[in-house]
């Protein structure tokens, strides 16, 4: 990463504290392996495939936490421009509006300004990934039976952050010179969730229809490395 990008994606811009893996654990080793593959320049389609002999839940857990950290960082770079005035509704252009529901305060889907939606979303994900009953960190402690369903919901909601950033704030990303970094993160996310069928194809439509599907790069307003 260039010095300029390091200045953009610094710790002060992080929207939420990063969740880390404990050294010496299986998940820490999987995290290192995944990062090594990305840093080596290996094809992203190959990098997201479940390694032979590894547990699917462990592989998904590592990536969910990693994507939360990365997307949290991306949103942190533009959050000062995402206000109730500029973004009175959490949306992805005129065709897509996202409403918040958490079965606590918001028991029914509720229209909210984008920054309020983002705060609730990041808080909600933090609770999930820091819950030992859902994301166990101790060796030998099993994942819950509905673990993949929980992760699908987390990833689906994280994807909405990409939609909002790309459609409403990508001009800021370009001004910061960070479009290549954001595009690579999106491409990695897209290949992972489609490889393992973790997001309904209908949910991906806001960016696919906008020619942001990685295989349609030649028609895209953005450049994927």
Distance of alpha carbon 88 from alpha carbon 65, whole angstroms: 28
Which among 165, 142, 22, 146 has a CA at the least distance from the CA of 92? Answer: 165
Distance of alpha carbon 202 from alpha carbon 190, whole angstroms: 13
Distance of alpha carbon 74 from alpha carbon 166, whole angstroms: 11
Which among 74, 63, 90 has a CA at the least distance from the CA of 14? Answer: 74
Binding-site sequence positions: 82, 87, 164, 169
Q: Which tokens sit at 67?
A: 């994507």
Residues 6 or more apart from 170 whose CB is under 8 A from it?
179, 182, 222
- Cβ–Cβ under 8 Å, residues 83 and 47: no
Q: Which tokens sit at 46?
A: 């190959």
Binding-site sequence positions for Zn(2+): 82, 87, 164, 169
Tell me 211's DSSP state. Answer: T
* Interhelix angle 56-78/147-168, nearest 10 degrees: 30
Q: How many CA atoms lie within 13 A of 12 on its CB side?
A: 4
């Amino acid at each position: 990463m260039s010095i300029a990008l390091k200045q953009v994606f610094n710790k002060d811009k992080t929207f939420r504290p990063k969740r880390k893996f404990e050294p010496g654990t299986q998940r820490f080793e999987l995290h290192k392996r995944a990062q090594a593959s990305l840093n080596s320049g290996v094809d992203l389609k190959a990098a997201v495939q479940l390694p032979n002999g590894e547990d699917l839940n462990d592989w998904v857990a590592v990536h969910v936490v990693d994507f939360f950290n990365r997307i949290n960082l991306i949103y942190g770079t533009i959050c000062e421009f995402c206000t109730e005035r500029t973004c009175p509704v959490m949306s992805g252009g005129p065709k897509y509006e996202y409403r918040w529901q958490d079965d606590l305060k918001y028991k029914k889907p509720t229209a909210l300004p984008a920054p309020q939606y983002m705060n609730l979303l990041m808080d909600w994900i933090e609770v999930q990934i820091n819950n030992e009953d859902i994301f166990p960190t101790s060796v030998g402690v099993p994942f819950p039976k509905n673990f993949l369903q929980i992760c699908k919901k987390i990833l689906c909601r994280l994807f909405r952050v990409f939609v909002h950033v790309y459609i409403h704030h990508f001009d800021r990303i370009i001004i910061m010179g960070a479009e290549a970094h954001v595009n690579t993160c999106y491409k990695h996310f897209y290949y992972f969730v489609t490889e393992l069928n973790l997001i309904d194809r209908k949910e991906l439509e806001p960016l696919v229809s906008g020619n942001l599907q990685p295989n349609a790069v030649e028609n895209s307003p953005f450049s994927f490395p």
